[in-house]
C-alpha cells in the first residue's frame, strides 16, 4: 500500500479465528424511577483465541424543566 509521494508499506494482522463462539448480552437494572445500572458482556471464544469485553454504566434521567402542558 502506498500514499501519493510516500514509500510503500505492508499492513499485517492476526488471522481470523475459525469456528468461534460469539456472545453479546446485556442487562439494565432499574434501581429507581429515574436511575438504572447497566452491565454488558461482548466476547468471541475460539480454540486458540479469546476476546472479551465487559462494560458497566449508570443512567440517570431527569427533567429539564422545559415540559409544558397544553
Q: Residue 1 falls within a domain, yes or no? A: no
The winner for highest mean pLDDT among 9-13, 16-20, 50-54, 66-70 is 50-54
Beta bridge pairs of residue 30: 36
User: Which residue segment(s) compose the domain that 38 sits in?
Assistant: 21-60
The total of structural domains in the chain comes to 1
Instruction: Tell me if the pTM is above 0.75.
Output: no
pLDDT recorded at residue 16: 76
Tell me, yes or no, whether 56 lies in a domain: yes
Note whether residue 38 is domain-resident: yes
* Phi-psi domain of 21 (left: phi exceeds 0; alpha: psi -120 through 50; beta: other): beta
The answer to whether position 14 is within a domain reads no
Q: Nearest Cα to 53, choosing from 38, 42, 40, 37?
A: 42
Residue at 3 is within a domain: no
Residue 68 lies in a domain: no
Q: Is position 43 within any domain?
A: yes
- Residue 67 maps to a domain: no
Comparison of pLDDT for 2 and 12, the residue scoring more: 12
Amino acid at each position: 500500500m502506498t500514499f501519493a509521494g510516500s514509500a510503500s508499506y505492508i499492513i499485517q494482522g492476526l488471522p481470523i479465528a475459525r469456528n468461534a463462539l460469539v456472545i453479546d448480552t446485556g442487562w439494565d437494572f432499574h434501581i429507581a424511577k429515574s436511575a438504572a445500572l447497566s452491565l454488558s458482556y461482548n466476547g468471541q471464544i475460539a480454540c486458540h483465541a479469546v476476546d472479551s469485553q465487559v462494560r458497566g454504566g449508570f443512567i440517570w434521567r431527569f427533567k429539564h424543566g422545559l415540559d409544558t402542558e397544553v
